[in-house]
Amino acid sequence: MTTQAAAGIKKYMSVPALAIRDLSKHYDGQPAVKGLSFSIDPGEIFGLLGPNGAGKSTTINMIAGVTRIGGGTIEVFGHDNRRDYRVTRRLVGVMHQEVVIDNFFTIDQTLKFHAGYYGVRVDPAWRERLIERLGLGPHLHKVMIKLSGGLKRRFMIAKAMLHKPRLLILDEPTAGVDVELRHTLWEFVHEINREGTTILLTTHYLEEAEQMCDRIAIMHHGELIALEATGALVERLGTRGVIVHLREPAETLPAELLAWGARLDDGGSSIRLTLPPPRTTGDLLDLLGRYEMPVADLETKRAGLEEVFLQITKAAPANGGE
Amino acid sequence: MSDQRLPDFIPWLPFYTLFQKEVRRFLRVASQTLVTPVITAALYLFIFGATLGTRISVLGGFSYAQFVIPGLILMGVINNAFSNAASSLFMSRYLGNIVDLLVTPLTPAQFIMAYTLAAMLRGLAVGVVVWLISLFFATLPWAHPLLVVAMAVLSSFLFAQFGIITAIYANSFDSLAMYTNFILLPLIYLGGVFYPISILPPAWAGLSHLNPLFYLIDGFRHALLGQGDLSFTTAFTVSILMALALFAWAATLIGRSYRLRT
C-alpha cells in the first residue's frame, strides 16, 4: 500500500460514520425534529430510542434521503448527504420500520433490482451469505405477496445490506417479529459490526438496546434528551422495582428502608420499593435479614423504557409544548 | 464485509435497472397491460373496419377503415404509455415501495427516463400489434414512414410524461381514474380518432383545435395516409411543443421530488 493510499484510508476512518448538526424538520408548521446534533463513530452500534412520535423515524428518513432536511446538516463518512447524495446513499443501507415490498416480484428478482438501483453488481458470495444467514434460501423464487410477515422482514434486512453499506440503519427491526428472527438478526448484526459495519438502530425495547448498543441517544418531542454510553445510562436510569412478600405481616418499616422509598402494602404482608442505585436486591435481602423480617417470596421488575422515559422527561420537559 | 471499500459503482446501472424492472412489471401482467388493449383495439377494428365502416362513405379517397386505423393505433399508443407510467408510479407511491428508489443513488433524470422509456415501450408495443391486426381489415399507404415512427414515438413520450404527472398529483385510485375518464378519454374520442375534424360544423371544428390530441392524431394520420386536416408541419410542431412542456413539468416535479419525498 502506498503512503498516500494509507493516509487516505486513515483519514476516512477518522471521520465520523454519521455527523448530524442542528438538524430540524417541520410538518405543517409543527416541529418533528428540533436542533438535533450527535455523531456516531465508525464501527459503533448506536441506539436511537424514544417513544412514538419522538422524531426517530423522521431523523432516519432524513439520513436515508426519504425525507427532505428542514435545516442543519447530515454527513455520512464526511460526505454531505444533500450535495454528495450519490455517495452517501451507497454508504447507507436502511431497513425501514414499515414492511415495504413490491408484490410483483420474487425475493431473487427484487434483490437483483435492489443492487442495480445502488449501481453495483451483486457480490455472489455476499448474497449467498445473506440468504443463508437469514434463512431465505427455500423462498427465493416465491413472489412477495405469498411471504409470511417474518419472511418479509428477513427479506428487508437482506435488501438493506445487499449493496454492502458501511452504515446500516435498522428502524425498529424487531417490532412484531418472533424470538427466532430476533436472535438471528442480533447475531448477524453483531457479526457484521465486528467486520466493520457501523450500526444505527432504533427500538422500543430497552433490554435489546442495552444488549446491542455501545451508546444510546434518547429523543423526546424531536429533541435529544440523553446521550451516553449504554452502561452509564442503564446504571443511571435502569432502576429495579421490587415487591417483597413477607412470611409475617409487619406493622412498620425500618427507617433505613423508608429512606430507600419503601412502603408497606397488602395489609403489611408485602413491601414495595424501587431500588435506588447503587442498591441491589442482595442489599435489600441483607437488610431484611438484619431486621429479622423473613421473606416468603420476591418479585423484581426491571424498569422498562417507558419508565426510563418518564424519569427523563420529568427531568427535562419539552420546550415545544407538543 | 471486512473489505471497507465500497463495491465499484456503475453510474448507468440504477437507470437500467429501474427501466428493466418497469418493463418486467408490465410483462408480468401482460394479460392486463398488453392483451386487453389489443383486444379492445381489435373490436374497434372489427366494428369500424368490417361492419359499420363499410357503410360509411369514403373519405379523401380512403375507406373508412383506412381512415380510422391510424387513430386506433395512436389511441393504443397513447392509452398504454399513459397507463403504464401513471399506474406504476402511483402504485409505488400508494404502497410505499417508492422508498426503495428514494434511498438509492438514482438521479432525478434517471428516474424520469426509466419510467418514460418503459411507458413508451408498452405504448409502442401495443401500437405495433394493433397495426398488425389492422392488416386483416385494410392496408395503409405509409406515405412517410419515418414521420410515422416519429409521431408514434413523440406521442408515447408525451403521454408517458402526462402519466408521470398524473401519478404524482393523484391522491387515490379514484382520482387516478378521474384523470383517465374525465380528461384522457374525452380528449382521445373528440380528437379525431373516428371522424375528420373537417366534417364538423365550424364552431366544433374550432373547438377541436384546442384539443392537444387532435394534433397528434392528425399528424400521425397525415404521416400514414399522406393527408390530414392540418399540414404535417403544424401538427408536428405543436406536438413537439406540447411534449417539451409536459416533459418540463414532469421533470420539475421529479427534480423537486414533489410528493415523493416528505
Which residues of chain B lie closer than 8 angstroms to A9, CB-CB?
Answer: 4
CA distance B110 to A107: 24
For the four alpha carbons of B211, B214, B216 and B217, in that order, the dihedral sign comes to positive
CA distance B132 to A236: 77
Looking at the DSSP bridge assignments, the partners of residue A168 are A93, A199
Inter-chain touch B262–A61, beta carbons under 8 Å? yes
The runs of H, that is alpha helices, within chain B are: 13-28, 30, 36-45, 64-95, 99-102, 108-134, 145-169, 173-178, 185-189, 202-208, 212-225, 232-255
Report the percentage of chain B scoring pLDDT > 90: 58
More confident residue, B46 or B246: B246
Q: How far is CA A211 from the centre of its chain?
A: 10
- Cell numbers 493516509 label which residue? A7
pLDDT given at position B101: 94
Which of A98-102, A293-297, B78-82, B227-231 bottoms out in mean pLDDT, i.e. has the lowest?
Answer: A98-102
pLDDT given at position B149: 97
DSSP codes, B196-210? -GGGS-HHHHHHHTT
- Is B6 an 8 Å CB contact of chain A? yes
Cell triple for residue B206?
374550432
pLDDT band at residue B92 under the 50/70/90 scheme? very high
- Is A111 an 8 Å CB contact of chain B? no
Considering A11-25, A218-232, B121-135, the range whose residues carry the highest mean pLDDT is B121-135
Inter-chain touch B104–A85, beta carbons under 8 Å? no
Option in B92, B105, B257 nearest A90 (CB): B105
Q: What is the pLDDT of residues A256-284, one digit of tens each?
A: 888 888 889 888 899 988 887 678 888 88
Inter-chain touch A117–B24, beta carbons under 8 Å? no
Which of A2-11, A190-199, B149-158, B166-175 bottoms out in mean pLDDT, i.e. has the lowest?
Answer: A2-11
Which of A25-39, A63-77, A271-285, B145-159 bottoms out in mean pLDDT, i.e. has the lowest?
Answer: A271-285
Angle at B18 between CA B247 and CA A90, to 5 degrees: 110
Q: Are B22 and B118 in contact (CB under 8 A)?
A: yes
**Which residue, B71, B117, B87, is CA-closest to B179?**
B87
Looking at the DSSP bridge assignments, the partners of residue A192 are none
Option in A92, A100, A116 nearest B13 (CB): A116
Inter-chain touch A100–B97, beta carbons under 8 Å? yes
H or E segment and range at residue B191: none
Nearest-CA distance from B29 to chain A in Å? 9
Specify the amino acid at residue B222: H
Which of A211-215, A298-302, B127-131 bottoms out in mean pLDDT, i.e. has the lowest?
Answer: A298-302
* Phi-psi region at A295: left, alpha or beta (left = phi > 0; alpha = psi -120 to 50): beta
- Cell numbers 464501527 label which residue? A43
Cell triple for residue B201?
360544423
pLDDT given at position A321: 35
The yes-or-no verdict on residue A305 having pLDDT over 70 is no
Q: What is the pLDDT of residues A229-250, one digit of tens each?
A: 887 777 666 666 788 999 988 8
The yes-or-no verdict on residue A10 having pLDDT over 70 is no
Considering A205-209, A260-264, A276-280, B130-134, the range whose residues carry the highest mean pLDDT is B130-134
Mutate to test the interface with A, among B99, B101, B102, B111 (most CBs of A within 10 A): B99
Q: What is the mean pLDDT of residues A310-317?
A: 63
Q: What is the mean pLDDT of residues B253-258?
A: 93
pLDDT given at position B4: 56
Nearest-CA distance from A116 to chain B in Å? 5
pLDDT given at position A1: 44
- Is A106 an 8 Å CB contact of chain B? no
Say which CATH topology domain A15-235 has: Rossmann fold (3.40.50)
Inter-chain touch B262–A104, beta carbons under 8 Å? no
Which residues of chain B lie closer than 8 angstroms to A116, CB-CB?
Answer: 13-14, 16-18, 20
**Which residue, B54, B6, B114, is CA-closest to A92?**
B6
The yes-or-no verdict on residue A322 having pLDDT over 50 is no
Which residues of chain A lie closer than 8 angstroms to B1, CB-CB?
Answer: 126, 164, 192, 195-197
Within A203-303, strands assigned E span 215-220, 223-229, 240-246, 263-265, 270-275, 295-302
Which residues of chain A lie closer than 8 angstroms to B84, CB-CB?
Answer: none
- Is B30 an 8 Å CB contact of chain A? no
Tell me how crowded residue A52 is: count the other CB atoms within 10 A of its CB.
7
Strand order in the sheet with A263-265: A263-265, A270-275, A240-246, A295-302
Inter-chain touch A27–B100, beta carbons under 8 Å? no
State the Cα torsion A163-A166-A172-A178 to the nearest 10°.
60
- Is A10 an 8 Å CB contact of chain B? no
Mutate to test the interface with B, among A97, A104, A159 (most CBs of B within 10 A): A104
pLDDT band at residue A147 under the 50/70/90 scheme? confident
Option in A68, A109, A119 nearest B11 (CB): A119
Backbone angles phi, psi at A204, to 5 degrees: -90, -10
Q: Note whether ipTM > 0.90 here.
A: no
The yes-or-no verdict on residue A70 having pLDDT over 90 is yes
H or E segment and range at residue A185: helix A179-194
**Which residue, B17, B108, B99, B245, is CA-closest to A160?**
B99
Q: What is the pLDDT of residues B168-187, one digit of tens each?
A: 999 998 998 998 888 888 88
pLDDT band at residue A210 under the 50/70/90 scheme? confident
pLDDT band at residue A320 under the 50/70/90 scheme? very low
The overall average pLDDT reported for chain B is: 90
Strand order in the sheet with A167-171: A92-95, A167-171, A198-202, A45-49, A215-220, A223-229
State the Cα torsion A129-A135-A138-A143 to the nearest 10°.
-100
User: Maximum CA pair distance of chain B?
Assistant: 77
Cell triple for residue A176?
412484531
Nearest CA in chain B to A160: B100
Q: What is the mean pLDDT of residues A140-146?
A: 88
CA distances from residue B169 to B107, B250, B257, B262 in whole angstroms, order as listed: 21, 11, 12, 14
Tell me how crowded residue B104 is: count the other CB atoms within 10 A of its CB.
26
Considering A119-128, A269-278, B43-52, the range whose residues carry the highest mean pLDDT is A119-128
Q: What is the mean pLDDT of residues B151-157?
A: 97
Inter-chain touch B261–A65, beta carbons under 8 Å? yes
Q: What is the mean pLDDT of residues B68-83?
A: 93
The yes-or-no verdict on residue A183 having pLDDT over 80 is yes
- Is A100 an 8 Å CB contact of chain B? yes
Q: Are A126 and A110 in contact (CB under 8 A)?
A: no
**CATH of the domain spanning A239-302, picked from 1.10.1760, 3.30.450, 3.30.70, 3.30.980:** 3.30.70
Nearest CA in chain A to B25: A104
Q: What is the mean pLDDT of residues A89-114?
A: 90
pLDDT band at residue B3 under the 50/70/90 scheme? very low
Which residues of chain A lie closer than 8 angstroms to B104, CB-CB?
Answer: 89, 117-119
pLDDT band at residue A12 under the 50/70/90 scheme? low
CA distances from residue B148 to A67, A212, B139, B218 in whole angstroms, order as listed: 44, 64, 15, 11
Which residues of chain B lie closer than 8 angstroms to A103, CB-CB?
Answer: 95
pLDDT given at position B118: 97
Q: Break chain A into its structural domains and give their ranges.
A: 15-235, 239-302
Inter-chain touch B4–A118, beta carbons under 8 Å? no
Question: What burial class does residue B112 get, using C-beta atoms within 10 Å of its C-beta: 0-12 exposed, 13-18 middle, 19+ buried?
Answer: buried
Which of A121-130, A307-316, B30-39, B125-134 bottoms out in mean pLDDT, i.e. has the lowest?
Answer: A307-316
**Which residue, A83, A25, A163, is CA-closest to B104?**
A163
Q: Are A178 and A135 in contact (CB under 8 A)?
A: no
Q: What is the mean pLDDT of residues A153-166?
A: 92
